[in-house]
Amino acid sequence: MTDAAPVLPLVRTVEALRAVVADWRRQGLSVGFVPTMGALHEGHLGLVREAGALADRVVASVFVNPTQFAAHEDLGTYPRQEEIDAELLASAGCALMFAPTVEEMYPQGFATGVTVGGPSQGLETDFRPHFFAGVAIVVAKLLNQVRADVAVFGEKDYQQLMVIRRMARDLDIPTRIVGAATARDGHGLALSSRNAYLGEAEIEVARRLNGVLAKAAVQASSRRPLPAVERDAYSALLKAGFERIDYVAVRRAEDLGPFDDGVIDGPGRILAAAWLGRTRLIDNMAVSAPSA
């Protein structure tokens, strides 16, 4: 008879979470943290493994955060699979799953917000003006609840990563924020829970996004004027089969500010958001600084 798979400990309250973490601290153990909204895939598990390489114990949260969804977005249909997520987290070396209720995170009378400027301006904010306020408040709460030494976030959501780093720095949150490389399938498509919405034909189109951005990144690195690079990438995405494009933009990697004079003069990032049916895909990649 084979042994049963290990059961991942799960807590739903901040009090229980802090009790476990406090016990680890008494043992002299360091703590890593990976926040998720569940519906986990290999990209999330890579973040857990990265956190495990940086800390002795890893907490992962699974919480579909309502404050980052607008009324017309997919809060109600966002995929949820808690039991499967727990098994996947255990397989990746996670030590504790924190799965709070909405009432635990936002109790009656909750009235506080977090506003981050700087890297939150433009791009996603132009199309989802509510988004980063929702992300900032839930991540600030989670970082304060877990009190981890290090937290790992994926670079697929690059603007979000920059916003979280800015918030943690500005609010003196001591947790070190680490960005991990985007996990992709064998065709270069960035892994995302929302890929589950895509049909077979849409998946074929989605896999072209990475190639369009790679070509544009090479052009930007050659100091081609960025408005032309962005315009051609926009057209290439429509030609590839995307139905509409929210943005394609090349920005400074360090703070997402625009480049002076419209040409690359240092490390950059090209970011895009495009639609296939009801599914909005985002992706980005590094743009090398031009050679001297």
User: CA 134, CA 125: separation in Å to the nearest integer?
Assistant: 12
Cβ–Cβ contacts within 10 Å for residue 186, how many? Answer: 6
Q: What are phi and psi of 273, to 5 degrees?
A: -135, 130
Cβ–Cβ contacts within 10 Å for residue 278, how many? Answer: 11
Q: Which residues are catalytic?
A: 44
Q: Could you give the residue ranges of the DSSP H alpha helices within 13-123?
A: 14-26, 42-54, 82-91, 102-105
Closest CA to 139 of 110, 114, 176, 119: 114
The helices-and-strands tally (H runs, E runs) of the chain is 10, 9
User: CA 52, CA 42: separation in Å to the nearest integer?
Assistant: 15
CA 262, 263, 266, 270 dihedral sign is positive
CB 276 within 8 A of CB 205: yes
Q: 104: helix, coil or strand? A: helix
